[in-house]
Amino acid sequence: MKILFYGTKSYDQISFDRALADYPTIKIDYIDTELTPMTASLARGYDAVCAFVNSDISALTLEILRGFGIGLILMRCAGFDAVNVDFAKTLGMRVVRVPAYSPEAIAEHAMGLALCANRRIHKGYIRVRENDFDLSGLVGETLYGKTAGIIGTGRIGAALCRICKGFGMTVLGSDLYPNQKLIDEEHVIDEYVDYDELYRRSDLISLHAFLNEESHHMINDESIAKMKDGVIFINTGRGGLVDTEALIRGIISGKIGAAGLDVYDEEGPNVYQNRSDQVIDSITARLCSFPNVVMTSHQAFFTHEALHEIAQVTLENARAYELGEDFVEKSVVC
């Protein structure tokens, strides 16, 4: 089985090459080009393509791929909003993903962003590097005894609930499908509440919801106005969950006291790209100008364990497709 691997980074090739030792019938060719309608023709002669969150797997891309006999789209990520799934179904194409790769890694990064933004650790580090030992402007909030609001309590959200509980926080959850076990058995959520109550009561809010038409820009001027003054706001979920301009207004007004962002709505052209030699009109420059904002670029998942899991599940799904067997549980999109 031959797979064309789009958007290759050095760490991708290292992790997949290590895992390939257990899959002798699978061959991968790596290219650094992203999958788009313009580059789909490069997959001629392959059985499957492997893509990531910043690919453009629109109807046109899928049509071109199908025309070359591609039957399988391997998404090496949990999200699949880059894929026109309904159209893929009509073409008889299979789309699979990696539903959960080290959810603890993402939860740990979310808490790391919260701590850094809240305690201005990034600013303190820069000052000490320049022999400035003044503490003015670096005061933060103690998390012990405060209330954390976790929006979306799947595997990642549940992992953050455990972390917040370990900090001695009261933990509120909000989810369309509440996981009662997190209350009754693990005791890491104190109660499930609706969004408005979570906004009203939480000192720290972290997003882990799915992005769809209903959740797009769920964090906006109206929802931010319902939050506590000085709330710590974290997003390691999807950029589209937040109206960035509303977030900026919330930061300027003081409603949001600290923000840690691994994703943002306008990030598309920047994801995993080095644009340091370009002059760009960047929303990140405006956000990073605030002393209480910390930003990373889709880094939350990035651990050795997560990369290993991504490679293993992706290759196992490829092997299953090759042999006509069932895909890895919960990996199937269509």
Q: Are 117 and 95 in contact (CB under 8 A)?
A: no
- Give dist(CA 244, CA 217) in Å, integer: 9
Pairing of strands 94-96, 170-174: unpaired
Run of H or E residues at 247: helix 244-253
298 an active-site residue?
Answer: yes
CA angle 314, 327, 86 (to 5 degrees): 90
Distance CA 172, CA 149 (A): 5
Catalytic residue among 76, 120, 267, 316: 267
Token pair listed for 89: 């179904």
Nearest to 294 by CA among 210, 235, 239: 235
**Catalytic residue among 76, 120, 298, 316, which?**
298
Dist CA 136 CA 72 (whole Å): 56
Looking at 76, 238, 309, 316, which residue is catalytic? Answer: 238
Active site annotation includes 141:
no
Strands of 147-151's sheet in order across: 191-192, 170-174, 147-151, 204-207, 231-235, 256-261, 293-295
**Integer CA distances (angstroms), 167 to 149, 160, 163, 185, in order:** 14, 11, 7, 19
- Centroid of chain to Cα 213: 17
Q: Is 104 a catalytic residue?
A: no
Q: What are the tokens at 324?
A: 């006509």
Token pair 């890694």: residue: 105
Catalytically annotated residues: 238, 267, 298
